[in-house]
Structure 1
Amino acid sequence: MTSTDFVRPALEWLAQDPDPGTRAELEEILRLEDHAELAERFGAKLEFGTAGLRGELGAGPNRMNRVTVMRAAAGLARVLGPGKHVVVGFDARHNSDVFAADTAAVLTGAGLRASVMESHWPTPVLAFAVRHLGADAGVMVTASHNPPRDNGYKVYWGDGAQIVPPIDGEISRAIDAVGRVDGLPLGESWTTLGYRDIVEPYLDAVTSLPIGEARELSIAYTPLHGVGGQVLSDAMVRAGFKAPVMAERQALPDPEFPTVSFPNPEEPGAMDLALELAARTGADLVLANDPDADRCAVGTPLPGGGYRMLTGDEVGGLLAEHVLGSTSGDGRLVATSVVSSSLLGKIAADRGVGYAETLTGFKWIMKAGPGLVFGYEEALGYSVGSDAGLPVHDKDGIGAALAVAGLAAQAKRDGRTLTDLLDDQARRHGLHATAQLSVRVDDLSLITDAMARLRAVPPAELAGRAVKSAEDLAEGVAGLPPTDGLRYHLSGDARVVVRPSGTEPKLKCYLEIVIPVEDGPEGGVTAARARAVRDLDALKKDLAAVLGL
């Protein structure tokens, strides 16, 4: 199609768009005859996949807007069928509440029942609500930690977990069959879920997790302008902790995220205000949630002063030991993703419990098998369970924060810190040092080209370590479904996984080096950590050169 061919679909879009804001935006593009912009918006569409929908706000099928959302809701309604019950939640991003209301109107107009949360609450509250209310599906309007101009649409099934194939494909095909949205029947009546209806039961569930008995702890916390602040504070107080001291400038929901470049605790600078607050107040623990509070970041004091943020793998290892030490039974299972540390498998073997490795994403971790009491992925996502099982069948930044606080309070009571616990773990299993190399691009073809080059000419060595084996995850390995990724096992007990991000325009590389720690004084761990930093830096540098990005 030529650029002028997109004028007709743009006019058709205008005729059905119920949003005066995006109509005005598109009318201006047409008035300016900006054919490049029309081609970008109408030459492609947001694809509905296992992460649902996610993209920049604006007019057109390649943007998040009311038309796109109504079509998604209509497709979901066709797959579920009349009479089914869907719970709808939303975060505080631009238009999230509008998209939630549109979803409820389309669902009820199609003969389904909808329950909509009355306020912007965390994603794990929605995931919990699906099972708690016995619903058939759930929708969460959120773009998690994406930039301010993005929004998204995440779908959960009746088990309270995110959808996986083949359900996502069925919904996608149903969406493609939806006609104009101005012809959809719209309902006007649905149930509104208040704080007592759903947040209170959620708090009851997560405060019943194995937190431990120690409670003396001071916490510095930031919700990063997201929706976690109230619910996390309420959870802490209900569990018996003091309310955390909150980073004031980031305490309230703000869709512009004015104090951070990207509202993701992993991004450089995102934790600066929380770390400054911790230093000012002498906090024992630093906690953060991402904007929809399904992830949890953790910082701990350093022996010589200051604080350091723990990696997702470090927190995952600590929580795994904590959960397995607080649960019982031969059928227990722990799970993580192919890009996370190999440490969890060693912890599971040491504890005599089952271990599973899945594709990236909690939708897969939740399908790891029966008896799952703990799951995590290195990107700060954790699902903490008890003998009663997992209260949330997705990553839960609130439940994880409670468990970490209990672990830190116990360590404080014993005169120790989380760093001491990590050192103990390194002595038992070896120091499992991980790092990530992420490359953000404007042109997704750069990522496609880089993956093609690696497949055509795999590296023979990286940072002086021979590549002992290379696995193309697209071919399906170790019983896993195919996915776009490459895994290299290097000499000296090291590993690299390269994959495109499923939610952002990034190529992500996950690095791990395992260094044995000699028995003896703490200097052994310190030396191993120093060596790990040098080795990981060398590996990053070499890998960046190989990628050519």
Structure 2
Amino acid sequence: MAENAVESSGDVTLDNAVKQWLKFDKNSKTAACVREMVKTGNIDELRKCFGTRMEFGTAGLRAAMGPGVSRMNDLTIIQTTQGFCRYLEQCFEDLKLRGVVIGFDARQHTPSGGSSKRFASLAAAVFISRGVPVHLFSVFTPTPYVPFTVSRLGLCAGIMVTASHNPKQDNGYKVYWENGAQIISPHDKGIATAIEENLEPWAESWDTEAALQSALLKDPYQDIHREYMQSIQQHCYYRFTHTHTHTADREGATIVLANDPDADRLAMAEKQISGEWKVFSGNELGALLGWWTFRCWKEKQGEKFTSSVKDVYMLASTVSSKILRAIALKEGFHFQETLTGFKWMGNRAKQLLDQGKTVLFAFEEAIGYMCSPAVLDKDGVSAAAIAGEMISYLSSKNTSVSQQLKAIYEENYNGANTYPQDCQGFAITAVRDLTTGYDSNQSDRKAILPTSKSSQMITFNFANGGVATMRTSGTEPKIKYYTELCAAPGNSDLTRLKEELNSLVDAIVKNFFQPEKNNLISRPESD
């Protein structure tokens, strides 16, 4: 009768999706919810639930909890995990030897009977049914524990059931690869294909009770909790006391450190003299943590600093502040950008670590920070610990966090904005800034010629052989610039070369100087 009601809608695709669901779903609450929608003819709601299946991507899955293929529920968790398991079987011959880890947050959804713990148990049942060892946390944990466990135990993969800071009715399914970082393409496409090929639940996939009694199941919580804390302490240099500060005004606190529900992000606020709270942006906290991390590392290196710094890296997503580039230019370490998301920074960090490089820090403006290579993902727990020791240190120097942030920007004023890479279509290949002491042609990025903040001079090299140097006049309120174009061997067409040089000069004037202030520019000197 229920099936006939769906058929009467005239939507064959919807009809088939609902029929399959009622055949596969063993969760009484979600199945009853679907039957009720069918019985009452609630076609609009049925289309919301069954119109489009959740798309598995590099961020895994994330959606509201409830019935249907577009929601997070028991059946979609089983289907997703079956596909993931099949894909891992194709990629790892030793999957049944190494195994996987599964963690979860504290979310639950009474109407559908779903919870993160329930979803994690179902995922464990799927893997155990295929003879794969599962390290399933017995209690909810911070997200960083999962990638840490993957790396520490040498597992094939990890799953974290969480929707992070999404609304409470949502949930998610985040996947980590054997390198401890979030998956990137082409794994997402491979997993998505495997999910579509394994939609029908395997016989044992629903049997969580048998899975929880299996010898293949282990609880890694005690060991991982201890080892994680020990690992993080290796990257802390000062002791501090941390307390819950969500009642900060009542307790008279001056600093608030806050994590999101799954503790992979960190936010911070500081009470100002005015009594107002300054909430630091993700970029501002990134500047502070990056400065502090490098400062501590540099102090620890001592005499080895000069030889060690050339192998040090910091990372940030392309949409984040370039303050780390500024500090890198000044201190001599490397800064690299990645695409948006820690899946890119985590994988790039792993590549660098495998090359014997030191990755000190990575961040994105969405309050995500990687303060330790022990976790190749954003980690609000270690970030809070390291922020706490930074705050303690600044307090001992009678300096506020806001004051230190201002000092960082003032000391690295040049690098907060990157050097241009293009000038009106002319590509810039190298920069030498004798104001700040930066020279991109040198291996350590430090200029050989004397530098002076009071006598500004900067030189740009262009891909076409052009060179332009700009400097301030020592006697007049003017900016002078000098340009030349070095022709390629065999190119003796002086007329064309002069035209190209004039075009370059026009581009420099238009790009670097304001036309309405040409009275400050001396006559160009060109060769």
Corresponding residue to 2:225 among 185, 189, 199 = 199
Aligned equivalent of 1:533: none
Q: 1:57 maps to which residue? A: 65
Match of 1:254 in 2: none
Match of 2:296 among 326, 341, 350: 326
Counterpart CA distance in 1 for 2:415 and 2:166 is 29
The residue that corresponds to 1:377 in the other structure is 364
Q: Report SS of the residue matched to 1:61.
A: coil
Match of 2:248 in 1: 278
Question: Residue 164 of structure 2 corresponds to which residue in structure 1?
Answer: 144
For structure 2, the 5+ residue unaligned runs are: 1-8, 90-94, 109-114, 302-307, 418-422, 426-527
Q: Which protein is bigger by CA-based radius of gyration?
A: 2
State the 1:194 CA deviation.
Answer: 4.9
Give the equivalent residue in structure 1 for 2:402: 419
SS of structure 1 residue aligned to 2:257: strand
Q: CA RMSD for the aligned pairs?
A: 2.2
Matches within 5 A, 1:134-533: 134-181=154-201, 183=203, 188=211, 189=214, 190-209=216-235, 211-213=236-238, 215=239, 241-246=240-245, 274=246, 277-327=247-297, 328=301, 329=308, 330-368=310-348, 369-370=351-352, 371=357, 372-385=359-372, 390-430=373-413
- CA–CA distance in structure 2, aligned partners of residues 77 and 292 of structure 1: 24
CA deviation after TM superposition for structure 1 residue 13, in Å: 0.3
CA displacement, residues 143-178 of structure 1 (integer Å, 9 cap, x when unaligned): 001111110000101111111111111111111111
AA matched with 1:357? E
Superposition deviation, residue 326 in structure 1: 1.9
Q: What is the one-letter code of the residue matched to 2:365?
A: E
CA shift, 1:183, in A, is 4.3
Task: Check whether the contact 1:87–1:115 (CA below 8 A) recurs between aligned residues.
Answer: yes
Amino acid at match of 2:217: T
CA offset at residue 342 of structure 1?
A: 1.6
Q: Secondary structure at the match of 1:115?
A: strand
Tell me the amino acid that sits aligned with residue 138 of structure 2: E
1:138 counterpart SS class? strand
Q: Which residue of structure 2 aligns with residue 121 of structure 1? A: 141
1:455-500 deviations in whole A, cap 9, x for unaligned? Answer: xxxxxxxxxxxx989xxxxxxxxxxxxxxxxxxxxxxxxxxxxxxx
- Residue 225 of structure 2 aligns with an amino acid whose one-letter code is V
1:179: Cα distance to partner?
3.3
Structure-to-structure mapping, 1:75-94, within 5 angstroms: 75-81=83-89, 82-83=95-96, 84-94=98-108
Distance 1:148 1:154 in 2: 17
Paired residues of 1:17 and 1:182 also in contact (CA < 8 A): no
Equivalent residue letter for 1:284: T
Deviations 1:324-373 (A, max 9, x none): 11225221110000110121211111111111111111010112341321
Structure 1 CA distance for aligned equivalents of residues 256 and 424 of structure 2: 39
Q: In 2, distance between residues paired with 1:319 and 1:34?
A: 52
For 1:106 and 1:58, locate their aligned partners in 2 and report how far apart those are by CA, in whole Å: 20
Partner of 1:367, secondary structure, is helix
Q: Name the CA shift for 1:432/1:48 in 2 (closer, same or farther; >3 Å).
A: same
TM-score, normalised relative to structure 1: 0.66
- Give the match for residue 107 of structure 1: 127
TM-score using structure 2 length: 0.68
Give me the whole-angstrom Cα distance separating, in 1, the residues matched to 2:254 and 2:389. Answer: 12
Shift of 1:283: 1.3
> Could you tell me whether the CA contact under 8 Å between 2:180 and 2:376 is conserved in 1?
yes
1:242 partner letter: T
In structure 2, C-alpha distance between the alignment counterparts of 1:365 and 1:118, rounded to whole Å: 29
Shift of 1:184: 5.7
Return the offset for 1:280: 2.1
Counterparts of 2:65 and 2:28, CA distance in 1:
14
Match of 1:513 in 2: none
For 1:123, the aligned partner's letter is T
Q: Encode CA deviations 1:191-215: one digit per residue, 9 max, x unaligned.
A: 2325422111111111221x332x4
- Deviations 1:42-95, CA, capped at 9 Å, x for gaps: 111100000001101111111111111111111111111251401000000111
Q: Which amino acid aligns with 2:198?
A: V
Residue pair 1:6, 1:35 contacting (<8 A) in 2 also: no
- Whole-Å Cα distance in 1 between the matches of residues 416 and 313 of structure 2? 24
Whether contact under 8 Å (2:361, 2:371) holds in the other structure is: yes
Residues 56 and 183 of structure 1: CA distance in aligned 2, closer, same or farther (over 3 Å): same
